[in-house]
Amino acid sequence: MGRPVRGAYRGALLATLLLLAGAVQAAQPGRAAIATPHPSATVAGLETLAQGGNAFDAAVAISAALAVAEPYGSGLGGGGFFLLRQAGEKPAYRFLDARERAPLAAHPRLYVRDGKVDPALSLDGPLAAAIPGLPAALADLASRYGRLPLADSLTPAIRLARDGISVDRIYRERASWRLSSMRDDHETARLFLDHKGEVPEEFSLLRQPELANTLERMARYGKAGFYSGPTAEKLVQGVNAAGGIWSLRDLADYKTVERQPIRFPLADGRELIGAPPPSAGGIALAQSLAMLQELPWRKSDRVQRTHYVVEVLRRAYRDRGLLGDPDFVAIPQARLLDAAYLKKLASGIDARRATPSSSLPPSPPLHEGDHTTHFAVIDKDGNAVAATLSINLPFGAAFTVPGTGVLLNDEMDDFAANPEGANAYGLAASQANAVGSGKRPLSSMSPTFIESEQEFTAFGTPGGSRIPSMVLLSVLEYLDGQPVSRWPAVARYHHQYLPDQIEHEPGAFSSSESAELQARGYSLKPLSRNYGNQQVLFWNKAKGSLEAASDPRGLGLSEILEIEKLK
């Protein structure tokens, strides 16, 4: 399945399918599938597969294309998590941690001025920027797992940056949210706003020649083309001239980290393969699903099911305050995923009444920006990638380093800014996630696989602290046997322990459902807009079928390459 291809991309897509059909031999699953939040990124992935690349090469192409087409959601100035499946009789799973690192000069009181946290310092400008990880991830994916040279996989993104990308409604919406901050930086305003300093008109052309040059240096020199040489020198000079604290050593020392994914057994022979710390998402999902397995959620009406889901989320999110960068703090992962512990948590859920969060032992919650991006791809051999990428808030720190086209992240805001009290959002601080030299901030990004002998699925979405709850709701649709198109479209609600309330999309609950939830002791907070942009894949091994779906809330494009039919 897949959404119709828009006219601007139809020719490129059809040409790619024809090339792929002639180049690929039958294999299991024998087809490829891609789901991304932007049509140009989907086409970049298809083009790379057509050239003989595998899912890992396609992931490089998609990530780089999203860096051009969605500067509000990800980019070379940001980072992300890549969950990998290597095909084989017994699949192997890898997790590539490309989360940004705090500069070596960072310290716990970096954003404290006159005894108080200045929230603007961790949101806007170069002091808010951690050392980017995405460029290293692209180079590592290509060299360790890909079939094609890095230069080949970066070609579509270079072309997009030079020729331009059409401004769409989502770009305009995100730019309007950050307009004031974008205007404050001359380079960001010059590149991403119109000549009057306003949000560009829809369908106007966004060209990024400096970014194209930076990508070309990466294509020629690999990781060194970003983290050393002229690009690195421009980055450090530009950041420090504007008040940042980067050094050439910060860039030279950056490395991705290969970590062991969370692997957690589920019912019916399924296994959850999820994101480990510094992601908080994999543990939260495993905990939530384990608790739900102890509860009759499948047999419940909608209000009762919501009740169970909210209560397991409440308990899972409470434990996030114990998590941080595993290279710096001890993570009690085994205890948090212990079957007896999770059964005890589930047994404490009242089937009819909300559990006040104040009655549970406290643990500090997490704040993070919610405008990331996500994609999923599987190739004909069964290699697969689910990746969630971010620069934190829309357009990151709203600071672009002159001469590079690199829009920097503001991921430093994902640390606990004030270790002695609440952060800028009124949330209690977490010592495990305090600002520290070289640390990676905690994240909720949750690229996720679920696999059994009969099926393979991939899930993921942007959305900050709401990511685990969104993925959980989609996973429940899958476990409930609902059509793949329903998984990313399901109405969303969220609870994260504190604040003690259910946030939900407009229309997620009927008036009678809202009234019944309130009667059970819940406080409901309707949001003014929908959120998230999920991309999913489903490979039914037993039937030999492959499906993909993009969130109807966004502009995403999911496509199945029906190779056998084209032959």
**DSSP class of residue 353?**
S
Beta strands in 70-121 (DSSP E): 79-86, 92-98, 112-113, 116-117
User: Using an 8 Å Cβ cutoff, are 193 and 178 in contact?
Assistant: no
**372 noted as active-site residue:** yes
361, with CB counted inside 10 A (0-12, 13-18, 19+), is exposed
**Element (DSSP H or E) covering residue 455:** strand 455-459
User: Using an 8 Å Cβ cutoff, are 59 and 377 in contact?
Assistant: yes
Determine if residue 537 is left, alpha or beta; phi over 0 gives left, psi from -120 to 50 gives alpha, anything else beta: beta
- Cross-strand pairs, 374: 388
Interatomic CA distance for residues 385 and 383, integer angstroms: 7
Q: How far is CA 224 from CA 230, 253, 256, in A?
A: 10, 11, 14
Instruction: Name the amino acid, one letter, at 346.
Output: A
Instruction: Name the amino acid, one letter, at 278.
Output: P
Dihedral of CA atoms 209, 210, 211, 212 in degrees, nearest 10, equals: 50
3-state SS assignment for residue 459: strand
Looking at 306, 372, 404, 457, which residue is catalytic? Answer: 372
Helix-helix angle 281-292:467-479, to 10 degrees: 40
User: Using an 8 Å Cβ cutoff, are 422 and 311 in contact?
Assistant: no
Is 383 annotated as contributing to ligand binding?
A: no
Is 159 annotated as contributing to ligand binding?
A: no
Is 392 annotated as contributing to ligand binding?
A: yes
Is 181 annotated as contributing to ligand binding?
A: no
Long-range own/partner contacts, residues 45-50 (CB < 8 A, 24 or more apart): 45/375, 45/377, 46/12, 46/13, 46/16, 46/17, 46/20, 46/559, 46/561, 47/12, 47/16, 47/156, 48/148, 48/152, 48/153, 48/156, 49/16, 49/20, 49/379, 49/561, 50/16, 50/19, 50/20, 50/23
Task: Count CA within 13 A, CB hemisphere, residue 564.
Answer: 10
Interatomic CA distance for residues 245 and 442, integer angstroms: 21
Is 510 annotated as contributing to ligand binding?
A: no
Residue entry with tokens 């393979």: 456
Sign, CA torsion 280/281/283/284: positive
Interatomic CA distance for residues 528 and 530, integer angstroms: 7
3-state SS assignment for residue 458: strand
3-state SS assignment for residue 71: coil
3-state SS assignment for residue 548: strand
Task: Count CA within 13 A, CB hemisphere, residue 387.
Answer: 36
Residue burial 367-384, b: 16+ Cβ < 10 Å; e: rest: bbbbbbbbbbbbbbbbbb
Is 363 annotated as contributing to ligand binding?
A: no
Give the 3-state DSSP-derived string for 384-442, with helices as H, strands as E and coil as C.
Answer: EEEEEEECCCCCCCCCEECCCCEECCCHHHHCECCCCCECCCCCECCHHHECCCCCCCC
**DSSP class of residue 279?**
B
Indicate which residues carry an active-site annotation.
372
Query: Annotated binding site, which residues?
Result: 99, 390-392, 414, 443-444, 464
Query: Annotated binding site for L-glutamate, which residues?
Result: 99, 390-392, 414, 443-444, 464
